[in-house]
C-alpha cells in the first residue's frame, strides 16, 4: 500500500503495482513531481513491552533541560538527566488516537548502557495505559536502534514503510 495525495494516486498506483520497492524509492520524486528523498524504514509495534525498569522522568517539552530535537513532540517527554544535563530521551508522536510513535535519542557518551531500551519500554507502557498502541520506526541499517527496539519488546514483524522527504516547498 502506498499513501499519496488523491491527485497523485493514479500515477503512483500504476507504477507501484509492477515496481520493486527499491525502484519505487528511486522513481517516487519524479512520479509526484517534487524534489526530495525517498527512504525505507522498519515499522514495529508492541502491546507487551519488555518488563525493564524505568529509566527516566516525564517533564514538559519546554523544560530548559530538554534538547531541541525533543521539543516538537509537545506535551511531556521522557528524559534521563545527569543533574541538569540531558543524557537520553523519548518523544511521543501522537499520529492519531490509535497509534503513537516513539522516537529515542541518547547522547553518544551514554550509549551502550541500555538507556534507550529502558526508555522505549517505559514510554510504551504509558502509551498503552493511554489506550493507544506504541509504534517504533527506524532505518533498516540502524542496527543500534533495531537492537534497542527488540530489547524493549518491539519485534521485527517484517513490516516496512516508504517515506518521502521533500527538499522544496
Segments making up each domain of the chain, as ranges: 45-160
What is the pLDDT at residue 6?
Answer: 85
Query: Residues in the chain with pLDDT < 70?
Result: 1-3, 168-169
What is the pLDDT at residue 100?
Answer: 97
What is the pLDDT at residue 16?
Answer: 75
Fold of the 45-160 domain: Aminopeptidase (3.40.630)
CA atoms within 13 Å, Cβ hemisphere of 34: 14
CA distance 102 to 127: 9
What is the pLDDT at residue 1?
Answer: 58
CA distance 146 to 149: 5
What is the pLDDT at residue 24?
Answer: 83
Amino acid at each position: 500500500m502506498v499513501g499519496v495525495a488523491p491527485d497523485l494516486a493514479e500515477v503512483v498506483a500504476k507504477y507501484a503495482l509492477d515496481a520493486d520497492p527499491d525502484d519505487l524509492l528511486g522513481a517516487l520524486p519524479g512520479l509526484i513531481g517534487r524534489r526530495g528523498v525517498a527512504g525505507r524504514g522498519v515499522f514495529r509495534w508492541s502491546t507487551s513491552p519488555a518488563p525493564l525498569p524505568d529509566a527516566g522522568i516525564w517533564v514538559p517539552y519546554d523544560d530548559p533541560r530538554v534538547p531541541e530535537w525533543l521539543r516538537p513532540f509537545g506535551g511531556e517527554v521522557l528524559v534521563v538527566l545527569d543533574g541538569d544535563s540531558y543524557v537520553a530521551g523519548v518523544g511521543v508522536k501522537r499520529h492519531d488516537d490509535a497509534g503513537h510513535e516513539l522516537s529515542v535519542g541518547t547522547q553518544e557518551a551514554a550509549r551502550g548502557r541500555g538507556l534507550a531500551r529502558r526508555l522505549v519500554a517505559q514510554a510504551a507502557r504509558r502509551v498503552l495505559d493511554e489506550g493507544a498502541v506504541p509504534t517504533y520506526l527506524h532505518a533498516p541499517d540502524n542496527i543500534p536502534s533495531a537492537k534497542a527496539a527488540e530489547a524493549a519488546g518491539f519485534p521485527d514483524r517484517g513490516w516496512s514503510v516508504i517515506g518521502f522527504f521533500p527538499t522544496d516547498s
